[in-house]
Amino acid sequence: MTRSADAFARARAEGRSALVGYLPAGFPSYDGCVAALRAMVEAGVDIVEIGLPYSDPVIDGPTIQAAADLALRNGTKTRDVLRTVEAVAATGAAALVMTYWNPVLRYGVDAFARDLDAAGGCGLITPDLIPEEAADWIDAAESSGLERVFLVAPSSTPARIEATVAACRGWVYAASTMGVTGARATTSAAAPGLVARVRAATSLPVGVGLGVSNGDQAAEVASYADAVVVGSAFVRRLLDAADENSGAKAAAQLAAELAAGVRR
């Protein structure tokens, strides 16, 4: 199993930020998702976020909602998400699942941790779970050695940042804007200050997500963050593609552009 720490260490050794890429499992199909994720890794993505499609994605914008809806209509189940993790882990990339908390509860917290570990996944990103309500997950993750990535936002108070980073293992996800996911024309003016506040509270790497869609924006975020997280822009490349093969190629082209950006 590759840990996020390995990816961050490689990036630091190269004097750059890590690149994190996201797609929902089962989108545009199981095979199409795996092919696209493999292509993204080959083109320079260091850490892969695999979304668990969910019917009530409260922080996801319309692009990711459309992809998750298609994945659900394809019949994507949690076991398919874990199969996707296994396929990505086989590439040598660090693979985390990005999921809302209710599907994990339905599956069983201990069972999910066990099966994610068995699939070669290194942890969970849980956007709607706060540390105060995460005792079961924290215990299960500790038992399985899994990473726990919680989110902070520009509105987070010093006390909230302290509590969140104390519960994190692996890295901290800094949501650069208040609102839903989606590519934006400019990066967040609030993000550098948020990263500085998080770094004052922890030595863990800080990844910044929400809004990055091109190499210039990746370079800008990489100038102050340990990782650049990109989701909607990858999803959009697949949504706009004529077929799955061209979608994987388009995702790889974007990954190469972003990878060049974090290396500027």
Enzyme catalytic residues: 49, 60
Spell out the SS3 assignment of 143-190. HHCCEEECEECCCCCHHHHHHHHHHCECCEEEECCCCCCCCCCCCCCC
Is the distance from CB of 40 to CB of 75 less than 8 angstroms?
A: no
Going by the DSSP 8-state scheme, the letter that residue 122 receives in this structure is -
Written as six digits, the tokens of 255 are 């990954």
Q: Which amino acid is at 207?
A: G
d(CA 187, CA 190): 9
Tell which residue, 244, 235, 238, 195, has the closest CA to residue 212. 235
Number of H helices, E strands in the chain: 12, 9
Cβ atoms within 10 Å of 136's Cβ, excluding its own: 15
